[in-house]
């Protein structure tokens, strides 16, 4: 059974750095074709993909936030991480991590999601 769980600071102030952790089980990020993605959702709004990391440490970022994002992983401890620098109120959202799995040699789908971590940016 695949499970993922996000953890974060809950509340932080503008200009600070947001650090999020995704702790997962049921798969390994050292397995060929596996990845973890980060997605966020402001309250009552739609979904925005932020970044993802692959088994071979390849990384992709949303260009709209690229300079502020850093994704990484700790394969031994089954964790993935996301840092967002210089946050402001627009970064207030629920942040999800999701497993990404190959369905074809080219296509990867987010087939399991965590419960989400609520993050509020406020002074």
Partner 1 sequence: DIQMTQSPASLSASLGETVTIECRASEDIYNGLAWYQQKPGKSPQLLIYNANSLHTGVPSRFSGSGSGTQYSLKINSLQSEDVASYFCQQYYNYPLTFGSGTKLEIK
Q: Which is nearer to partner 1, 16 or 21 (CB)?
A: 21
- Out of 24, 29, 35, 114, the residue judged to bind partner 1 by CB under 8 A: 114
Shortest Å, Cβ 76 to partner 1: 26
- Write out the chain in H/E/C secondary structure: CCEEEEECCCEECCCCCEEEEEEEECCCCCCCCEEEEEEEECCCCCCEEEEEEECCCCEEECCCCHHHEEEEEEHHHCEEEEEECCCCHHHCEEEEEEEEEECCCCCEEEEEECCCEEEEECC
Shortest Å, Cβ 63 to partner 1: 6
Shortest Å, Cβ 68 to partner 1: 14
Please tell me whether residue 103 binds partner 1 under the rule CB under 8 A.
yes
Q: Contact, 14 vs 87, CB < 8 A? A: yes
Please tell me whether residue 62 binds partner 1 under the rule CB under 8 A.
yes
- Residue recorded with tokens 């990484």: 72
Shortest Å, Cβ 10 to partner 1: 17
Of 14-22, 26-34, 83-91, 105-113: span binding partner 1 (CB under 8 A): 105-113
- Out of 43, 77, 104, 123, the residue judged to bind partner 1 by CB under 8 A: 104
């Amino acid at each position: 059974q695949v499970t993922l769980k996000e953890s974060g600071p809950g509340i932080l102030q503008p200009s600070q750095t947001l650090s999020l952790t995704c702790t997962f089980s049921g798969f390994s990020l050292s397995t060929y074709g596996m990845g973890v993605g980060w997605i966020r959702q402001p309250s009552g709004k739609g979904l925005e993909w932020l970044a993802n990391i692959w088994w071979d440490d390849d990384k992709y970022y949303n260009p709209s936030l690229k300079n502020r994002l850093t994704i990484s992983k700790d394969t031994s401890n089954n964790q993935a991480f996301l840092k967002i620098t210089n946050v402001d109120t627009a970064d207030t959202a629920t942040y999800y991590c999701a497993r990404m799995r190959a369905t074809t040699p080219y296509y990867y789908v987010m087939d399991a999601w965590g419960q989400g971590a609520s993050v509020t940016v406020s002074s």
